[in-house]
Structure formats: C-alpha cells, structure tokens
Amino acid sequence: MKTIFHIDVNSAFLSWEAVHRINDLHEEQDIREIPSAIGGDAAKRHGIILAKSVPAKKYNIRTAEPITDALKKCPELVIVPPDMKLYKTYSKAFIGLLKEYSPDVEQYSIDEAFVDMTGCSLLFGEPISCAYKMKDRIKRELGFTVNIGISDVKLLAKMASDFEKPDKVHTLYQSEIEEKMWRLPVSDLFYCGKSAVKKLDMLGIHTIGELAKSDIHIIRAHLKSHGELLWKLANGCDVSGVDTVEKENKSYGNSTTMPFDVTDETTAKMFLMSLCDTVSSRLRKDHKMAEVLSVTIKDTDFNKYSHQKVLPAPTNVTNELYEAAGSLFSEMWKGEPVRLLGVNTTKLYDDTEARQLDMFSGTDYEKLSRLDAALDAIRNKYGTDAVKRAAFLNKK
C-alpha cells in the first residue's frame, strides 16, 4: 500500500511575511497574533485578501474578498502588501526540506506539495509519527506551521490536509472515507466548483456521501465527464501518483485588471504592450517561440470573450506580438469599458529552429531580436524598471 503525504503551509503568505519580519527585520510584533492580512493595493482593483491571520478569522475576514470589505468588518486590520520574491524564497526552502525525506516530491503550488513516503518507515518511522516529526521540524527550522494529510492516494491526502487547521496531522485512507469524508458538503470535494455544486444541489445531492452513492449514469447525464470524475473522487478512486517531473509550459500568458475603466483604444493598447513585453520576455528566457496568440477582454459587467490568430511565423519578438495583439483588440472590441485585458501564446517551438523568411515584409526581425535581448540583459542586471518603452513615460 502506498503512503502519500500532502503538506500545506498554513496561511502561507502571511506566515512567511511574519517570519521575515521577526527574523530579518527584528520586529517584536508577530502579525500572526493580531488581526492582519496580506493583500494588494486597496486603491486599485487588485485589492483583495490573499491570506489572513487566525485572529482576523474572528471578524469573518475571507480570502479573496475586497480589502475595502475586510476593513469594514475590522477597521484595525493590518494590511501588508504581498512580496512574491520573498515568498518564492521561503517556498524553495520548504520544498528543499521535504526532499530530505523522499526524492519523490511534487510541488503542487507555491505553498503545498505531495510527497510519496512509500517504504520510508524504516528511515523515519510509521506515517503518523513521521508526519509529526516533519511538521515540527518545519516549524522549528523554518518558523512556520503546516498541515499534513496522510493517505494511500493523492486526492484523499489533500482532503485530509484540509481538515482542522492549523499545525495538524490527519489521515484519510480509503477505508476511512465513509467515516471522515462522506459527511462533508460536496463543496469540500476536490475539483467541485460552484457550478458543479449548484447542479448537484438541484439533484438533491448535498454531501460527498450522497454523491458517492448516486447513480453514475444520472450524474454523467447532468455534469458530463466532469460529473463522472467527481463521482469517482467521492468514492476515493484516484490512481494518480506523485509526479516529480517538472512539466514544460504549454502556453505563456499574462493578464491585468485595470486600475480604472479603460474606454479608449490608445490606453488599452498601452496595457497590451506591457502584457506583450512580459510574455515575450518569458518566452525568450525559456528559449521558446509562439505561433498562436490570443487576446482576452473582460468588461465592467464581467462579460469575458477572446479572439486568437495564427502568426505568420513563430516568434518571441515583443513588437511582433504586440502588433498581432493590437490587431486582434481592434477587431473584437465593441467599445465597452474594459476592466481586464489578457494576452496568451500557444503552439510553442524552440527558438533554435530557423525562422522562415517573408519576402514581402520589410521588417528586420533580427534587429528587433537583438534589441529585445539587450533590454532583457539590462533588466536582468538592474531591475525591470531600469529601462522603459517611451509609450509608458509620464503615464499613470
């Protein structure tokens, strides 16, 4: 029988921020002990709660709610802006410690991972004992707490780690699902989103147990293949293993929520240039070129739509991606106020492949590529704001 751990950092961003402030900035106040939260700039639309302290929960502060709403519930709430560079440093240390217990570690997100501990009992003791040692060591050496779920399959290990928090160890083996999991609402089931919950509710299915005991044909008829997946998960059926191979990107994209409603094409295309600049830089860093580009628009009524086009040749040249993005935007935009813009690239190729020449184009792509490479080098050495395109000067 396999033994799989799912390790989840408790309030990761806030915990890592607290450890940094205590250990590196020598602050006396631990923000985990007061009503506090990690969130964006309240003056912009990125102002949502990303993580919250235990004391903040007493005020019903919720993750992903607007900061303005959170402050109405708790005016003394301490808001700390996120520092992703810092969090990636702590995440790396977290994953590094886990690899000391097993080579089979799958990083599932920045603050959680699966570890295949099968056959490790002779080295580290029985699963529960090992989990407590691992949990306590993380707290002692890295300064933050985690929850650990233990099972014989990945899904159940993740479900177990979501039980009572923080700083806990829970088991959820297949033999325990009826006792520990079936009484939970279907919304607690992995992959069961709001739309699926609503459809199941209409069928009179409210708990995971009711879903597990339902007729699979009825579930499939209403929720298609996703319903069949949920039914299998409700019955503890999961054959996936811990995947230690880092997956190669199949697409590169970026999106931004505007700090104000964009109502003119010039301003919208300025944001598109910024997005294309970021996406093309990431493509070049990974030595990739993209042949398909898409642009997504979300208006102020939250209607979302997108168009895509095949480029004349695979590219990672900023100007070339921007020209295609601008063309798509002009074709699809209906003139409504824009709340969000997104750019995504797919159908990737290695940049070692030769580019097919266009006899009818006067564009010097080799020159543009050298310019992009020079900009990348300057930004890598001096920071992303070291050099800006003229379109962004004096813009707020």
DSSP state letter for 186: G
* Residue 209, pLDDT score: 96
For residue range 328-347, list pLDDT tens digits in order. Answer: 999 999 999 998 899 999 99
* Residue 191, pLDDT score: 82
pTM over 0.85? The answer is no
Helix (H, G, I), strand (E, B) or coil at 128: helix
Which are the contacts of 20, defined by CB distance < 8 A and separation ≥ 6? 83, 86, 90
Domain residues of the chain, as ranges? 4-11+85-176, 13-83, 184-234, 252-392
> How far, CA to CA in Å, does 229 sit from each of 47, 200, 212, 219, 262?
35, 13, 11, 10, 40
* Residue 252, pLDDT score: 92
- In the numeric block, the tokens 């949502």 are attached to 48
Class of the domain covering 184-234: mainly alpha
For 283-356, list the strands marked E by DSSP.
288-299, 304-315, 338-350
**176: annotated active-site residue:** no
Cβ atoms 156, 8 nearer than 8 A: no
**Which CATH architecture does the domain made up of 252-392 adopt?**
2-Layer Sandwich (3.30)
Cβ atoms 360, 320 nearer than 8 A: no
Instruction: Write the single-letter amino acid at 106.
Output: E
Which CATH number does 4-11+85-176 carry?
3.30.70.270
Stretches where the chain sits below pLDDT 50 are 45, 359-360, 386, 393-396
* Residue 358, pLDDT score: 53
Which of 212, 348, 361 is closest to 284 using CA atoms? 348
> How far, CA to CA in Å, does 322 sit from each of 51, 121, 274, 327?
35, 55, 9, 8
**Which CATH architecture does the domain made up of 13-83 adopt?**
3-Layer(aba) Sandwich (3.40)
* Residue 45, pLDDT score: 46
* Residue 396, pLDDT score: 45
Choice among 17, 106, 112, 320 that is catalytic: 112
32: phi > 0 → left, psi -120 to 50 → alpha, else beta; which? Answer: alpha
Instruction: Write the single-letter amino acid at 331.
Output: E
The reply to whether omega before 166 is within 30° of 0 (cis) is: yes
